[in-house]
Amino acid sequence: MAVCSKCAAQLETPLACGACGSLFAPDPEPTPFECLGLTPDFDVDAAEVRRRLLRASRLVHPDFHGASGEQSRAAAERATAALNRAHALVLDPAARADWLVRSLGGPSESQVRSMPQDFLMEVMEWNEALDAARGSAPGSAARVGLEALEASLAERRASVLREVRRLLVPLPAREAPALALARAQLNALRYLANALDQLEALRLDSPSPR
């Protein structure tokens, strides 16, 4: 664990010291996991992540550093923003997996655009259902079927996340083949998120049952 350069106390976050109250602007910028004092991993404890965010946020809160001058307040605001970004990423399983794949030297979504082969047939069916609902009047059978489609998409998303976890727990070695497989699964997750967004927009366009 890193120590404070001013008082030598152990740091829970590289952004500030809980013992002497000093603020830091590390270069390079700490990773999302480092900001929260966590070891990179796909499995996280949401309650622990939240606890660490609250503790670190108190250390860097701009109101506690305003009296030290505008420069200190600005540094506190940057540190607060970094913590909030870290918290959002670490708690989002898709974003967390994407970060882990990239940090381990795995391919980006521009380098691997494919999705799992067994997923592609389902994509065709879902696209047909979405197109049918999009071209149908509110209240039509195609629109009424959106609830079943949403359940199917949500179930598949859970299945894909389980496969992502299988590939990333424990974390593979740098540039391991599992990272490319995980990227393909993340591409599937991105499609599912987009399809669910489209479905929600269609459902909002449908009249509520009387």
d(CA 76, CA 65): 7
* Residue 99 falls inside a structural domain: no
Residues 6+ apart with CB under 8 A from 133: 140, 142, 143, 145, 146, 149, 199, 202
Task: Give the total number of structural domains in the chain.
Answer: 2
Residue 97 lies in a domain: no
Task: Render pLDDT for 72-124 as a digit per residue (tens, 0 to 9).
Answer: 788 888 999 999 999 999 999 999 999 999 999 999 999 999 999 889 889 99
Q: Are residues 125 and 198 in the same domain?
A: yes
Q: What is the pLDDT of residue 176?
A: 98
The answer to whether residues 156 and 70 belong to one domain is no
Cα–Cα–Cα angle for 80, 29, 99, rounded to 5 degrees: 90
- At 210, the pLDDT band (50, 70, 90 cuts) reads very low
Reply yes or no on whether the pLDDT at 202 is more than 70.
yes
With a cut of 60, say whether residue 208 has pLDDT above it.
no
Question: In this predicted structure, what is the pLDDT of residue 30?
Answer: 96
Domain annotation covers residue 201: yes
| 176 within domain boundaries | yes
Residue 136 sits in the same domain as residue 56: no
- d(CA 150, CA 195) in angstroms, rounded, equals 9
The confidence score (pLDDT) of residue 68 equals: 63
pLDDT at 182 over 70: yes
Same-domain status, 68 and 136: no
pLDDT at 67: 56
Among residues 23, 13, 25, 30, the alpha carbon closest in space to that of 66 is found at 23
Q: Could you report the per-residue pLDDT of 1-59, keeping only the tens digit for each?
A: 689 999 999 999 999 999 998 899 898 999 999 999 999 999 999 999 999 999 999 99
My answer on whether 87 and 117 are in the same domain is no
Give rounded-to-5 percent helix, strand, coil for the chain. 65, 0, 35
CATH code of residue 85: 1.10.287.110
d(CA 113, CA 130): 22
**194 alpha carbon, distance to own chain's centre:** 15
Give pLDDT, residue 206. 61
Q: Name the band, by pLDDT with cuts 50, 70 and 90, for residue 175.
A: very high
Q: How far is CA 51 from CA 12, 31, 63, in A?
A: 12, 18, 20
Task: Please indicate, yes or no, whether residues 55 and 114 belong to a single structural domain of this protein.
Answer: no
Same domain, 29 and 82: yes
The pLDDT of residue 209 is above 60: no
Statement to judge: residues 77 and 114 lie in one domain: no
Residue 210 lies in a domain: no
Whether the pLDDT of residue 70 is over 50: the answer is yes
Domain match, 120 and 34 both: no
pLDDT digits (tens, 9 = 90+) for 141-173: 888 888 889 999 999 999 999 999 999 999 999
Q: Which two tokens mark 148?
A: 């079943």
186: pLDDT strictly greater than 60 = yes
Q: Residue 126: what residue type?
A: W
21 and 66: one domain?
A: yes
- 191 and 134 in one domain? yes
Residue 178 lies in a domain: yes
Whether 52 and 138 share a structural domain? no
66 falls within a domain: yes
Residues of the domain holding 199: 108-205
Q: Among the three residues 40, 65, 91, which one is the final residue of a domain in this structure?
A: 91
In a domain, 30, yes or no: yes
Higher-pLDDT residue of 138 and 102 is: 102
The residue to which tokens 């974003």 are assigned: 95
